[in-house]
């Protein structure tokens, strides 16, 4: 645990690559958590055995949902319903992610306020509806620009925020300085030849959505 700008933080990393064999190497580098993906794209999905190995190495797992999610047209109410349903399926039936942890949903471009109102907000309202129907098993988070993190938080669409490393995106510095973020993405790092993004977890804001155990298969 370290201090940054007067807040308690821990170092983390995230990657789209399957890193089961690197679990110990990641932990030995001093990282405490790792972000991995839920998606319809199987190549970047977090795998059950991978989750087990990461947890066994002492790492918290942070899950983020992303298919493309990199343009305004990626975000509709229908897409929100579809992606939230897939996220819940993977979390509950494949990984067995524990209740009360979080799933972030990526907005991986520099969205404008217009985009937020007309595309991204309806998407997150649909995500909320799917989660509510399922009994709200997980906290909803957003990965994106300062503007998107701030607006989604302000409108009650998310509980968790992960600020993108893209400093040129709308309101990056403003949201970073606000310290409202749960996770702050940083520069690229390499561990055993594999590329990762570095992250800073804000422990001062409490639960950041990570989990350190899996639900036993016999549990409902």
pLDDT band at 3 (very low <50, low <70, confident <90, very high): low
pLDDT beyond 60 at 2: no
DSSP string, the chain: -EEETTEEEEEEEE-SS--GGGHHHHHHTT--EEEEEE-S-GGGBPPHHHHHHHHHTT-EEEEEE-SS--SGGG--HHHHHHHHHHHHHIIIIII-PPTT-EEEEE--S---HHHIIIIIHHHHHHHHHHHHHTT--SEEEEEE-HHHHHHHHHTTS-SEEEE-S-TTSTTHHHHHHHT--SEEEEEEEEETTEEEEEEEEEGGG---S-BS----TT--
Q: Is residue 220 one of the residues assigned to a domain?
A: no
Share of the chain above pLDDT 90, in %: 95
The mean pLDDT value of the chain amounts to 95
Give the per-residue pLDDT at 217. Answer: 81
Q: Is residue 216 one of the residues assigned to a domain?
A: no
Q: Is residue 173 one of the residues assigned to a domain?
A: yes
Domain CATH for 148: 3.20.20.80
Q: Which residues make Cβ contacts (< 8 Å) with residue 21, sequence separation at least 6? A: 53
- Segments forming the whole domain that contains residue 117: 2-205
User: Angle, nearest 10°, between helix axes 121-133 and 146-154?
Assistant: 50
Q: Is residue 130 one of the residues assigned to a domain?
A: yes
Q: Is residue 215 one of the residues assigned to a domain?
A: no
Closest CA to 31 of 41, 19, 40, 43: 19
Q: Is residue 212 one of the residues assigned to a domain?
A: no
pLDDT tens digits along 126-179? 999 999 999 999 999 999 999 999 999 999 999 999 999 999 999 999 999 999
Q: Is residue 214 one of the residues assigned to a domain?
A: no
pLDDT tens digits along 59-107? 999 999 999 899 999 999 999 999 999 999 999 999 999 999 999 999 9
Region 169-197 average pLDDT: 97
pLDDT beyond 60 at 28: yes
Q: Is residue 71 one of the residues assigned to a domain?
A: yes
pLDDT band at 220 (very low <50, low <70, confident <90, very high): very low
Give the per-residue pLDDT at 5. Answer: 60
Instruction: Please give the Cα distance from 202 to 7 (Å, whole number).
Output: 7
- Structural domain count of the chain: 1
């Amino acid at each position: 645990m370290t201090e940054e700008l007067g807040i308690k933080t821990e170092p983390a990393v995230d990657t789209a690559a399957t890193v089961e064999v690197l679990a110990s190497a990641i932990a030995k580098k001093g990282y405490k958590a790792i972000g991995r993906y839920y998606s319809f794209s199987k190549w970047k999905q977090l795998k059950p055995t991978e989750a087990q190995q990461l947890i066994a190495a002492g790492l918290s797992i942070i899950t983020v949902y992303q298919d493309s999610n990199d343009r305004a047209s990626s975000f509709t109410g229908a897409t929100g319903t579809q992606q939230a349903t897939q996220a819940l399926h993977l979390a509950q039936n494949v990984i067995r992610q524990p209740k009360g942890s979080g799933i972030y949903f990526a907005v991986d471009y520099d969205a404008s306020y217009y985009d937020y109102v007309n595309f991204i907000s309806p998407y997150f309202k649909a995500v909320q509806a799917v989660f509510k129907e399922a009994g709200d098993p997980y906290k909803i988070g957003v990965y994106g620009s300062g503007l998107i993190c701030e607006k989604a938080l302000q409108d009650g669409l998310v509980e968790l925020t992960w600020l993108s490393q893209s400093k040129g995106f709308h309101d990056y510095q403003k949201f970073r300085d606000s310290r409202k973020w749960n996770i702050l993405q940083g520069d690229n790092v390499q561990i055993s030849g594999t590329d990762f993004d570095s992250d800073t977890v804000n422990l001062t804001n409490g639960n950041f959505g990570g989990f350190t155990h899996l639900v036993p298969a016999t549990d409902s």
